[in-house]
Structure 1
């Protein structure tokens, strides 16, 4: 078990080292200019030199991401609880949940920014719309995926809807729910970045998307790559956090976490 745990960190780290080495070697060997492709060393140097600005932008982007992710989780779970109460309700309303998923956020973000006067709130709304559907879809599927024999047993013992929901449907839905969290956390980050691209806000409260835009206008490509690196690392950290929560909640009893293969 310990070796498997270390392998999950060691193998990706080795691949990253190899890829970064190839990147550095190609940039150095072909003498590529920094305004086309900066080397990893230059990107890291820029990250350290501009950390005060990029770090503040990272905190702003993460604030939008976490707020929208929390809103998506709360709304998604509540909507799933409503869907599972009746097939008619789910049939009537689920297509509108799908509509949220297939509608490009760049198409509706300008309207949301106009309607919601507060810039931070408008970014949270946009990112929430992007992150909402996986929570609804996975949680609803999990609440529906219960053992028919157990359902008959609860009915035989005259369990009411609340008891069936709390003691049967929710435990059955937890693996699906945590799967939705892994997807939704990354989508919340994507939604926050895309929303800020559309908003194009400046000033003291700016996220990494604005730093990418501003660096692009200045042709400061190393700074652009440094901001992209922070976004990627933030996404990896969010996924790792959701995986840890899943392990914490399911590790002692569910087959998906008990398996050693």
Structure 2
């Protein structure tokens, strides 16, 4: 039986994880103070916060660089993955010819091809190289999930569409794409996190001083043994990943909650 998600239930879902996080941070602070752990080994949360405030400008600038690359790579992956999956669904021969190469992109470690991409693009255009590498990581989940979703349309409904003389375009837009929407959104949730991971790993591989994103701030802080600033950058990366995931989860719920079983709220 369906029911509306009440405000207390929403509040509880937020407060419980927040409470656990605060307990963890309190225990961390107490542990560092009790055992007098050096800052360069494990800084206390208060020291990390202090470093975040002191380096707010540079960290926010780096966050924007990483976010820009991540969002651009993600959007390109969505457009390219969905577009190519539609092409696959319309022509089996095209799928057989191209899908193995998409698998090659997926299974090739980005760290192994990053130097080659950097050489081709040039070290004076590092952000574009990071975009390419992040796109490579984020592309395959969209393509794979969308292809599976387009194939999963009810064959009885396909026959019904053909019986009434529907065109291939009508079958695609009115049956296959709506049926594939849950698969596309699931692929997007995976791809969003992978785009961030791809951007960060690509910047690590790009080398010292070649980027201005959060990954470079982590490398820079580590080289200077400024561990509180390293942790501040790490927390920003984690927070960005969480925001991407929950933003895509919210979009998934908004689009599916009225008709798809995965998003319909039920009484336990």
If the length of structure 2 is used for normalisation, what is the TM-score? 0.93
- What SS does structure 1 have at the residue aligned with 2:10? helix
The CA distance in 1 between the partners of 2:192 and 2:184, in whole Å, is 12
Structure 1 residues 138-172: Cα deviation after superposition (integer angstroms, max 9, x where no partner): 11111111112111101111212111000000000
Structure 1 residues 71-90: Cα deviation after superposition (integer angstroms, max 9, x where no partner): 11111111111111133332
Corresponding residue number in structure 1 for 2:226: 220
* Partner of residue 15 from structure 1, selected from 2, 14, 20: 20
Structure 1 residues 52-88: Cα deviation after superposition (integer angstroms, max 9, x where no partner): 1111100111011111111111111111111111333
Corresponding residue number in structure 2 for 1:133: 140
Corresponding residue number in structure 1 for 2:262: 256
Corresponding residue number in structure 1 for 2:174: 167
The CA distance in 2 between the partners of 1:259 and 1:100, in whole Å, is 38
Corresponding residue number in structure 1 for 2:67: 62
Matched, 1:197 2:201: no
Give the root-mean-square deviation of aligned CA atoms.
1.4
Q: After superposition, where does 1:2-151 map in structure 2 within 5 Å? A: 2=6, 3-117=8-122, 118-151=125-158
1:259 Cα deviation (Å)? 2.7
Corresponding residue number in structure 2 for 1:211: 217
If the length of structure 1 is used for normalisation, what is the TM-score? 0.95
1:201 Cα deviation (Å)? 5.5
* Partner of residue 184 from structure 1, selected from 184, 191, 208: 191
Could you say if the C-alpha distance between residues 53 and 112 of structure 1 is closer, same or farther in structure 2, counting changes exceeding 3 Å? same
Corresponding residue number in structure 2 for 1:241: 247
Give the length in aligned residue pairs.
Answer: 260
Unaligned runs of 5+ in 2: none
- What SS does structure 2 have at the residue aligned with 1:257? coil
Unaligned runs of 5+ in 1: none
The CA distance in 2 between the partners of 1:60 and 1:133, in whole Å, is 23
